[in-house]
Amino acid sequence: MTTRMLGAPITRREDPRLLAGQGRYVDDIGAGALEVAFVRSPHAHARIVDIDVTDALDVQGLVAIYTHEDLPGRVGEPLPLLIPHPALTHGRTPCALAKDEVNHVGEPIVMVVATSRYLAEDACDRIRVSFDFDPPVVGIENARDGAQLVHDDVPGNVAAHLVQEVGDAAAAIDAAPNVVELDLDIERSASMPMEGKGVWARWDSDDRSLRVYTSTQASTSVRAAVAAKLGLEADRVEVVAPDVGGGFGVKIVHPWPEEILIPWAALTLGQPVKWTEDRREHFVSSAHERGQLHKVRAGFDDDGRLLGLDVTFWHDNGAYTPYGIIVPIITSTQLLGPYKPGAYRVEFFSLYTNTVPVTPYRGAGRPQGCFTMERTMDAIAQHLGLDRTVVRERNFIQPAEMPFDHGLTFQDGRPLIYDSGDYPASLEKLKKLVGWDEFEQYRTAARAEGRRVGIGLACYVEGTGVGPYEGGFVKVETDGGVVVATGLTTQGQGHQTAFAQVVADELGVPIDKVTVTTGDTRRFKYAVGTFASRAAVMSGNAIAVAARQVREKALRVAGEALEADPRDLEIVDGVVQVKGAPGSSVPLATVAVLSNPLRYAFDEETQRATQFASPADPDRPPVAEGDSPGLEGTGYYSPPRSTFANGMHAVIVETDPDTAEITVLRYCVVHDCGTLINPRIVEGQIHGGVAQGVGGALYERMVYDDAGQLLNASFMDFLMPYSTEVPAVETDHLETPSPLNPLGIKGAGEAGVIPGSAALASAIEDAEGFRITRMPISPSELHHLRVQHELASSAEKGLEA
């Protein structure tokens, strides 16, 4: 029997190539292309008065300079608003090059094409743009205040306002015996993939086709957008995501201005054109996320059970809303986590500021939601003097209550119904893993050494695998190789491995026979994209559907060749054989030949195949009606709604009593993403997510000054954690298969990042003994909180005296 691949922790098949520097990213492609650099706005809010390019004209190697007025028709119109929503009453998107005004530092104003990037930058340096300044709106408080406007026609800077309510939350809270109120604050961070954006385009005037390589999470959608903007038939446009050096959300947005401008320039100039985003550009011209203020009122009984929860929050969406209001919608629904909130009311305002636009970054509103809910749970525990795990247990949705309908609408427009999960079992595993019940002994021992330690935890539920669909193509070649394609992209998820594992099992072939292609519109035309922890769920299942079709056909064709009932056949190690009689067999390679009644034999396999050929019936067509040549299948998977993964993190920190440095001593994760395709890949996803969670909690922030200048737009001052700052992650899995899809899987891509700020705040609060309400937190900030707290408590003592 072939070794079962689904669930096997095999090493990633793509890694040797990527680790040996043999990856091919956009910047590795198309040497000799013309290169682009942009003049970007140095101001946060201004009207463009004049653009003077005179001095740039004598730069050697200059090919073209374009401003908005050079952009024809739809190329110059505002970029699409991808996900409209009735509550998004004032959605705004920019033009590919700024028209008349700029609304954030980094907005592209002029595109320069030259024979090299060096020369293009030389020309950019010589272009003078003069501005009339408008007062910039920076920070949620200023945006909410509404005294200055980002867009003149958006009153109060409110892009969207949405309320969802189940039950009467205000009444429930008023009637509750206990109430806590919290103001909670999460700052901005960003996806920060190692590879920034990048686009290469070439117009083939003979074929009248356009090929685009772009570092994207959604190549099929880029194709549709480029075709629409440039007025080309979609069939004349090929978009390929080559190796992509990380996405984390920022590359779902499409089209980015450059994804329109570079192909347009290639078409206009008749030469290949390329642009590679540099790090400074990425900081100010891609997207950020996370910045939100939250106000919480929670009413609960004396056992700590929630009776009513009322959350209002303000979301900073930056200068534009290209991706709609997905992030705040996710916060508003997913903050509920594994809990029954009692009556629930949530209201949010999505506000414009003169800063880089906000679009989903791994976690996509969930880290804020988790922070909000878990801080509330800790506050309830503190209020009642209960153990923090006990309060959580008492509020859990129980396994017997699944599926659990929250009565809300999720980001995909579908009802928020949890399909499965065993939260009490997950928490039990976590407590054991971290040694929750033994921690007080450890704390006492540490205290005796003058050390200050704390433990914290956070739980989350993540809606994954959002629709509408993905597809998969599986084909057995005549050499026995299996070619698999799916339209969604890969930016580090290990699809070459995980999808091959699915096919190896479904088809009964050795995994090394399977090759997977992703994100290439030439190989698969219909797709949504890789985001929302959806690739394994969506394409994994679609590929399984396709593989099952291929298996069915293989058995049918082999049955004819072997004169056996297909129901008596099995496929083992790439050979179709009669169950119990392995002597009677035919290789899949041969079945592939038989499936394609060609006249010609190109190779030995084809010649050998002829002995199995059925006697030709002169009255039957070689390809029967309803059949098709080739041993291949195309399948789609479209779920009724999302499937909900969950997890819980516990963390032990040490805070230096003098320097206020924060050290993570242990980081424990219990994770349930249903059936695991590859536990090693899932663990890798968790490790990467935890690294970003630690980054968001302790290091990363976008520091804007009042003028809207981003003060830390480099890796020197934007502090992503190094490997030296990321703790070793201890993991344990629970597998509660999803009933919604054939493979029983749930998404795992974003999970690891979600509870980072919540768990670390809980642990720091436990170590310090005062409430933590703002993340990230730096040693400097912790020091000042200590000083404030000492002042407050000595003032209290003074009053008592």
Partner 1 sequence: MKPSPFTYHRPGTTEAAVGLLTELGTDAKVLAGGQSLVPLLNMRLAAPPHLVDINQLQELNYVRATGTSPDGAGPAVVVGAAARHADVERDPAAHQALPLLRRALRHVAHPTIRNRGTTVGSIVHADPAGEMTAVLALLDGSVELRSANGSRRVGAADFFVGPLESAAEPGELAVSATFPVPPGQTGTAWLEVARRHGDYAVCGVGALVTVDADHRVVGARAAYISVDTTPVVLDLLDAVGTGPADTADWSAAGRLAASTLRPDADIHATAEYRRHLAAVLTGRALTAAALDARGRGVNHHTGETEETA
Cβ-based nearer residue to partner 1, 343 or 767: 767
SS3 301: coil
| H helix or E strand, kind and range, residue 350 | strand 343-352
Question: From residue 186, how far is each of 140, 162, 489, 776 by CA, in Å?
Answer: 11, 20, 30, 7
Six-digit token pair at 713? 């737009």
Rounded least distance, CB 274 to partner 1, Å: 14
| H helix or E strand, kind and range, residue 484 | strand 482-486
Rounded least distance, CB 637 to partner 1, Å: 42
For residue 55, the number of C-alpha atoms closer than 13 Å in the C-beta half-sphere is 10
Helices (H), 396-534: 423-434, 439-448, 495-507
Cβ-based nearer residue to partner 1, 126 or 548: 126
As a residue count, the chain comes to 801
Rounded least distance, CB 115 to partner 1, Å: 13
Please list the residues that pair with 114 across neighbouring strands.
35, 62
| H helix or E strand, kind and range, residue 635 | strand 631-637
Rounded least distance, CB 783 to partner 1, Å: 5
Please list the residues that pair with 662 across neighbouring strands.
655
What span, in angstroms and rounded, lies between the C-alpha atoms of 739 and 728? 33
Amino acid at 107: E
Six-digit token pair at 337? 């986590």
What span, in angstroms and rounded, lies between the C-alpha atoms of 531 and 490? 10
Cβ-based nearer residue to partner 1, 81 or 719: 719
Rounded least distance, CB 737 to partner 1, Å: 40
Cβ-based nearer residue to partner 1, 83 or 719: 719
Cβ-based nearer residue to partner 1, 61 or 403: 61
Please list the residues that pair with 774 across neighbouring strands.
185
Rounded least distance, CB 701 to partner 1, Å: 8
- Backbone φ, ψ for residue 572 (5° rounding): -130, 125
Rounded least distance, CB 698 to partner 1, Å: 9
SS3 243: coil
What span, in angstroms and rounded, lies between the C-alpha atoms of 666 and 726? 10
What span, in angstroms and rounded, lies between the C-alpha atoms of 184 and 294? 5
Cβ-based nearer residue to partner 1, 587 or 776: 776
The conformation of residue 610, written as its DSSP 8-state character, comes to G
Rounded least distance, CB 277 to partner 1, Å: 10
Cβ-based nearer residue to partner 1, 431 or 443: 443
Cβ-based nearer residue to partner 1, 101 or 187: 187
- Nearby residues of 632 by Cβ (< 8 Å), 6 or more positions away: 473, 474, 475, 476, 550
Cβ-based nearer residue to partner 1, 70 or 725: 725
What span, in angstroms and rounded, lies between the C-alpha atoms of 211 and 522? 10
| 359 in Cβ contact with 287 (< 8 Å) | yes
Rounded least distance, CB 147 to partner 1, Å: 26
Cβ-based nearer residue to partner 1, 55 or 278: 278
Q: Which residues bind partner 1 (CB under 8 A)?
A: 117-118, 121-122, 125, 278-280, 449-450, 658-661, 699, 703, 711-712, 714, 716-717, 719, 721-722, 724-725, 778-780, 783-784
Residue appearing with tokens 């059925």: 614
Rounded least distance, CB 281 to partner 1, Å: 8
Rounded least distance, CB 449 to partner 1, Å: 7
Residue appearing with tokens 């990856």: 23
Among candidate residues 1, 529, 480, the one with its CA nearest the CA of residue 241? 529
| H helix or E strand, kind and range, residue 588 | helix 588-594
Among candidate residues 527, 533, 586, 600, the one with its CA nearest the CA of residue 555? 586
Cβ-based nearer residue to partner 1, 315 or 701: 701
Cβ-based nearer residue to partner 1, 432 or 784: 784
* CB < 8 Å & 24+ apart, contacts of 424-429: 424/393, 424/396, 424/398, 424/399, 425/399, 425/734, 426/459, 426/646, 426/647, 426/648, 426/670, 426/672, 426/734, 427/389, 427/392, 427/393, 427/396, 427/459, 427/648, 427/670, 429/670, 429/732, 429/734
DSSP 65-134: EE-GGG--GGGSSBPP-SS--TT-TT----BSS--SEE-STT-EEEEEEESSHHHHHHHHHT-EEEEEE-
Rounded least distance, CB 27 to partner 1, Å: 13
Among candidate residues 423, 459, 462, 217, the one with its CA nearest the CA of residue 331? 462
| 191 in Cβ contact with 289 (< 8 Å) | yes
What span, in angstroms and rounded, lies between the C-alpha atoms of 353 and 320? 9
Among candidate residues 197, 226, 229, 196, the one with its CA nearest the CA of residue 211? 226
Cβ-based nearer residue to partner 1, 284 or 745: 284
Cβ-based nearer residue to partner 1, 529 or 688: 688
Rounded least distance, CB 656 to partner 1, Å: 9
Cβ-based nearer residue to partner 1, 201 or 782: 782
The conformation of residue 167, written as its DSSP 8-state character, comes to S
| H helix or E strand, kind and range, residue 594 | helix 588-594
Rounded least distance, CB 722 to partner 1, Å: 5
Rounded least distance, CB 137 to partner 1, Å: 20
- Backbone φ, ψ for residue 94 (5° rounding): -85, 170
Cβ-based nearer residue to partner 1, 141 or 278: 278
Rounded least distance, CB 716 to partner 1, Å: 8
Rounded least distance, CB 108 to partner 1, Å: 16
Six-digit token pair at 434? 């971290």
| H helix or E strand, kind and range, residue 651 | strand 643-655
| 90 in Cβ contact with 160 (< 8 Å) | yes
Rounded least distance, CB 448 to partner 1, Å: 12
